[in-house]
Amino acid sequence: MVAFFSAIDAILWCLEVQQQLNDSVWPDDLLTQPGGKKETAPNNNEEVVFNGIRVRMGIHTGAPNCRRNPVTGRMDYFGPDVNRSARVSDTAHGGQVVMTQVIIIYSFIFYILYFIFLMIVLFLF
């Protein structure tokens, strides 16, 4: 599990990791496996859709219970929001990023506000 300051940070990180995994050079033995073979788009044999390891990711937001693990010294997260995050991730297939509706709404509002901010800045200057 990975925690972020904002949902937008989580979305951008997931997309970046998926892209990096897809762009990586994988051993030939891995590429011969059903879950790791290179796949191209049906209408374009040059556009790589999947390549190598496929990681499923889920995004949810909430306020988890946080405690420092006494052995590792790292933060540990507990509670219903953590459980929901795990369930959201479980619904994805390898190579997919799945998110709850609250994340989609939050992202939409964020980009609308960002667009309004840009328009104000461009109008003033």
With respect to residue 92, please indicate whether it lies within any of the assigned structural domains: yes
Which has the closest alpha carbon to 110: 17, 4, 6, 15? Answer: 6
Per-residue tens of pLDDT for the chain, all 125 residues: 888 888 889 999 999 999 999 999 999 999 999 888 888 888 877 788 899 999 999 999 888 899 999 999 998 999 999 999 999 999 999 999 999 998 888 888 888 888 888 888 888 87
Q: Which domain holds residue 34?
A: 7-100
With respect to residue 13, please indicate whether it lies within any of the assigned structural domains: yes
Tokens coding 78: 């507990």
With respect to residue 2, please indicate whether it lies within any of the assigned structural domains: no
At 117 the pLDDT is 87
At 111 the pLDDT is 81
Which has the closest alpha carbon to 33: 48, 50, 18? Answer: 50
At 14 the pLDDT is 94
With respect to residue 94, please indicate whether it lies within any of the assigned structural domains: yes
Dist CA 74 CA 117 (whole Å): 37
Residue 76 DSSP symbol:
E
Residue 5 DSSP symbol:
S
User: What pTM value is reported for the model?
Assistant: 0.77
